Amino acid sequence: MLEQHFVRPQTVDRIRASWVGPAVEQYADWLMAQGYAARNLARRVPLLLAFGAFARARGAASLADLPAHLEAFVAARCGARARRGVAKEIRGPVEQWLRLVLPGFAGTRRPSQLLPFAEQAPGFFTYLRSERGLRPATLLQYTYHLHHLERYCERRGLATLRELTPALLTDFLVSRGASGLARVTVRETCGVLRVFLRYGHREALLPADLSLHVGAPQAYRLAHLPRAITPEEVRRLLEGIDRRAAVGKRDYALLLLLVTYGLRAREAAALTLDDVDWPHDRLRIPARKADHSTAYPLAPAAGAALVDYLQHGRPATKVRQIFCRAVAPHTPLTASAVAQRVASCLHAAGVRVPRAGSHTLRHTCIQRLVEADFPLKVIGDYVGHRSPAATAIYAKVAVETLRQVADGAGEEVLA
């Protein structure tokens, strides 16, 4: 009800007198239900009313006619030389409103939100899901790498996939490597390309199977040390969180779970209220990378941080995921958001580590277990590795044991 959002009756009357008034009222109720601050209504409702009046003056007769007038409205409000951010502030709320009141309206999307080669190879991602059975996280990797190929083709002026040649593919991969990507990432790009090119040849989108011409740089599994941090840096990281704010309570609980249990960002983001068994002090991690679940005893510190966040920091929302956005809309944190929050906290605490992110805390957890002389098989089971080989890299961080071997006590250590 508009009366709950606006004090002055004249304001309510003016909204309802508009031909888009009912749709604006629906949007106002939705905003408040999503947890938006009241100041958003004061800014957005007049904007929507102005858009409705603008569209009506241009001949709009129904809500379905509104999208056709959006760009003209943005241009009229911004002016020809307006900054890109100003146009976004106008277009964003209007498109959000239209998505609510017009089923099927998508609006403008960032290139990263569109599937690459959607027009030339429309069935590729359906093939990945249905025939190859790839997980959503893997599909995102395909989207990421193929977006770069799509932009490369645009820069080179290629109209269709049939114009791709082995020389162009080589040039693309060289440019990706020259951009500073790790060898493992370049190898991942090569794997994605081979799958895409084989599919293109199978569907007659390419005259030949160009996947045969895609090589990959050699990457050695044990060539690098895990990017763990020291116990002192962990302490500094946690102490740097301002737990007086709701976002601080959330980040503190999130960091404790990651460093205590070695969770992946995806696993932390997927945690729900149902995964915490409070009567038995248990924490369940479902749908791990190996398609199994793990149950842990709930550590007292992690449990206390969770209680503090759930009682005093988590916004009122119907979603079941534990970790949500602190500002509206209060949607669950994604895996990338978890990684970004960890990286931000590490930088704020002055902890320097290559490729800061959630895996930094995962590596830290595993290194502590290695230093405590747990068998690698036990460690692998604890953090959800699919095979013992995945845990073998952490044998390199057994510093004390390696030091004894270097000092000549190798036979006693290995015995």
Q: In a 3-state reduction of DSSP, which class is residue 294?
A: strand
pLDDT in tens, 317-338: 889 999 999 988 889 999 999 9
State yes or no: is 220 an active-site residue: no
Catalytic residue among 77, 341, 359, 363: 359
Is 204 in the same domain as 129?
yes
Same domain? For 128 and 275 the reply is no
- Across the chain, mean pLDDT equals 87
For residue 56, pLDDT over 60 is answered with: yes
Question: Residue 188: which of 117, 128, 225, 140 has the closest Cα?
Answer: 140
CB of 209 within 8 A of CB of 198? yes
pTM of the model: 0.71
How many domains would you assign to the chain? 3
Q: Is residue 243 part of a domain?
A: yes
Catalytic member of 5, 77, 145, 264: 264
The answer on pLDDT for 288 being more than 80 is: no
Residues 316 and 396 in one domain: yes
- Tell me the two tokens of residue 120: 């030339």
Q: Is residue 221 part of a domain?
A: no
Active-site residue, 88 included: no
Structure tokens at 189: 């790009």
Residues 284, 384: Cα–Cα separation, whole Å: 12
Handedness of CA 342, 348, 353, 355 (dihedral sign): positive
Domain span at residue 76? 2-101
Q: Is the omega angle on the peptide bond into residue 300 within 30 degrees of 0, that is, cis?
A: no
- Verify whether residue 221 is a known catalytic residue: no
Within a domain: 117: no
Active site includes 289? yes
pLDDT at 23: 94
Give the integer Cα–Cα distance in Å for 382 and 380: 5
Query: Which residues does residue 272 pair with via DSSP β-bridges, in sequence order?
Result: 321
Best-predicted range by mean pLDDT (24-38, 51-65, 135-149, 394-408): 51-65
**Known active-site residue 151:** no
Instruction: Confirm whether 223 is domain-assigned.
Output: no
| Chosen domain end from 158, 179, 213 | 213
| Domain match, 138 and 90 both | no
197 and 252 together in one domain: no
Q: Name the pLDDT band for 397 (thresholds 50, 70, 90).
A: low
pLDDT at 221: 60
Alpha helices, H only, 9-105: 9-17, 21-33, 38-57, 70-78, 84-101
Higher pLDDT, residue 394 or 244:
244
